[in-house]
A = this chain, B = another copy of it.
Amino acid sequence: MSKSGSGLEHFYSVIPAGGIGSRLWPLSRADAPKFLHDLTGSGSSLLRATWDRLAPISGPDRVMVVTGRAHRAAVEAQLPELIDSNVVLESEPKDSTAAIGLAAAILRLREPDVIIGSFAADHVIADVRSFRRAVVQAVAAANAGYIATIGITPTEPAIGFGYIQCGGPLDIAGAPDALVVESFVEKPDLATAEKYVVDDKHLWNGGMFVARADVLLAQIGESDPALLAGLEELAEAWDDPARRGPVVDRVWPGLTKIAIDYTVAEPAAKAGRLVVVPGHFDWDDVGDFASIAKLHSGGRKSDLAILGENARVLADSSSGIVISQTSRIISLIGVRDIVVVDTEDALLVTTSQNAQRVKGVVDALKLSGRSDVL
């Protein structure tokens, strides 16, 4: 495929690798967040699989990872090809606008025409070819000046995802499938979700954004000028080892903590600057254990999925998922849709139906001062 004119020669992948994944406790922890785990049984962590999808598109030297200082060693161990100058360490989490915006600001200084694509480190996409086709169109739309997102065609009435409401087609060279975005829709109720699946106007919001860095930064600046100023100040000092530390110490604490949905996606949609490329691939944000169970069972309710290199599970008339990080014998008898997560210092027993409530346990553990297991 020729890159010329498509904008692909300007493309840079950005992987914000943040967030603990509280609903996946006790597997996900502050020191071992979701993206570092192999939740698909593929042998690769979610982060590594994200890299493997993106590096062939942008080139391995053009993948930047934004993560917490605590995860530097783990990230570098999983991504030995990641070059030093593409590791952006956050001194404390400031949500996705700061993470993606800082990457954009740093890369724009290095390369004014850069187009960045931001893809979460902890999502699952199996069909890499379809994903690539969507990215290529999104890059072409970005090259034409739009902010582009990739929306996933829904396969079921999911109530755990946000949706993108699509408008009409646009005539963008290299992005024949791109549609204008009418609006973003919060997680719907089941009746609404059932309408969305069949109306051909709604796509799942996978949180993937592709744009020229300068366009993205301008949008951030419209929403929050002080945040943009902070990001630009950080970016100017970033590649100078002597200056970076003091500037980070001074500027970072004041950065607005806000999701990119509010600073970029929604305002850009309102302004008609946002386009969506429909992606026809299976996608999951692996938000909770029910989602992991579903990934592994292929949707069959009768199956018991087992994750863990040393898992020793003996099951009788049981279904659901067992995630084992120990070598203990785990025996299940007559438990349906169960979720068992067995780690050295914490055990979770719940059901798929209650998977969303796991975050509540994490909150309760925080309140009771048991942060040793968080």
Give me the interface of A with B, judged by CB distance under 8 Å: 26, 312, 314, 316-317, 328-335, 338, 340, 342, 344-351, 353-354, 357-358, 360-361, 364-365, 368, 370, 373
A-B contact pairs, 12 of them (CB 8 A): A26-B331, A314-B364, A316-B361, A316-B364, A328-B346, A333-B351, A333-B357, A334-B351, A335-B338, A335-B349, A335-B351, A335-B354
Residues of B within 8 A of A365 (CB): 314, 329
B345:A333 contact, CB within 8 angstroms: no
Residues of B within 8 A of A347 (CB): 328-331, 340, 342, 347
Residues of B within 8 A of A332 (CB): 349-350
Residues of B within 8 A of A338 (CB): 335, 349
Q: Tell me the number of copies of this protein.
A: 2
Say which residue of B329, B351, B353 sits within 8 Å of A346 (CB atoms). B329
CA distance A99 to B111 in the complex (A): 87
Residues of B within 8 A of A373 (CB): 329
A360:B316 contact, CB within 8 angstroms: yes
* Closest beta carbon of chain B to A54's beta carbon, Å: 35
CA distance A332 to B180 in the complex (A): 45
Residues of B within 8 A of A328 (CB): 344-347
CA distance A368 to B314 in the complex (A): 10
Residues of B within 8 A of A361 (CB): 314, 316, 331, 333
* Closest beta carbon of chain B to A51's beta carbon, Å: 32
Say which residue of B317, B333, B344 sits within 8 Å of A348 (CB atoms). B333
CA distance A316 to B362 in the complex (A): 12
* Closest beta carbon of chain B to A337's beta carbon, Å: 10
Shortest beta-carbon contacts, A-B, top 4: A334-B354, A333-B350, A329-B346, A333-B354
Given contacts A328-B346, A345-B328, contact A333 B316 (CB under 8 A): no
